[in-house]
Amino acid sequence: MAAKKKPAKRKIKIDKKDAAKRIKKILAILKREFPDARTELNYKGAFQLMVATILSAQCTDVRVNIVTKDLFKKYKSPKDFAQANVKEIEADIKSTGFYRNKAKNIKAASQALIEKFDGKIPKTREELVTLAGVGRKTANVILANAFGIPAISCDTHVIRLSRRIGLSANSDPVKLEFDLAEIVEEKDWAVFSHTVILLGRYVCKARKPNCNNCPITVYCPAAHKPELW
């Protein structure tokens, strides 16, 4: 039997001026809708946030929070992870998936923190991305959440919704981040990520957007248009 053809990616044309106007209105609504929007990962301090974010790759925040509840009692500092046997870390984080890579990265990042950064999480993107397992997205999560430095985190929900809402035609996270940075005010970068993630998680789900109960229907070109999902 012939392999099923993947549907072609929807081509989107973006009017940046229009997108900038709409995102202002959309954000005003989302801020009211999700007044306490923040990352749903549980953590204390930048180091725990780094570990939790590494664990969250291909895993739900709920699962990560279950794992880190015990993990952060057992490993209290970069030193604890750096000195631990990687097999033991693997066993402790196994249920988050991809546990071999994650354990290796957490141990290596912890070692680098001790050797190069005096055991503290650095506050620049350039330094953060030198740590094992920390890419641009994770660095942005740390900057915005742990240090209050404006940064947009392009996770799977932000990528999907930005296209669906007509804010960018890019699905490459770095290109998308630059597009969004042009139309979202810098002071709103963190709140943009948090509220859009919540909208994507609870209302505008990948396969079944709930347009009837979506607060931004009036500003969304894809509202009630399955062909644009």
Interatomic CA distance for residues 77 and 205, integer angstroms: 37
Using CB under 6 A, list all residues that contact ligand SF4: 164-165, 203-204, 209-211, 214, 216-217, 220, 222-223
Q: For residues 91 and 218, which CB has a smaller minimum distance to ligand SF4 in the complex?
A: 218
CA–centroid distance for 26 within its chain: 19
Q: How far is the CB of 210 from ligand SF4 (least distance, A)?
A: 5
Q: How far is the CB of 206 from ligand SF4 (least distance, A)?
A: 10
* CB distance 189 to 152 below 8 Å: yes
User: Which amino acid belongs to residue 153?
Assistant: S
The residue from 92, 102, 107, 137 that is catalytic is: 137
Q: For residues 107 and 164, which CB has a smaller minimum distance to ligand SF4 in the complex?
A: 164
Q: How far is the CB of 197 from ligand SF4 (least distance, A)?
A: 13
74 flagged as catalytic: no
* 3-class SS of residue 204: strand
Q: Which of 136, 142, 176, 141 is nearest to 160 (CA)?
A: 176
Interatomic CA distance for residues 210 and 229, integer angstroms: 12
Q: For residues 52 and 165, which CB has a smaller minimum distance to ligand SF4 in the complex?
A: 165
137 flagged as catalytic: yes
The residue from 92, 102, 155, 188 that is catalytic is: 155
Angle CA 169–170–176, to nearest 5:
120
Q: For residues 131 and 216, which CB has a smaller minimum distance to ligand SF4 in the complex?
A: 216
Q: Which of 189, 207, 176, 87 is nearest to 140 (CA)?
A: 189
Q: How far is the CB of 225 from ligand SF4 (least distance, A)?
A: 8
Active site residues: 137, 155
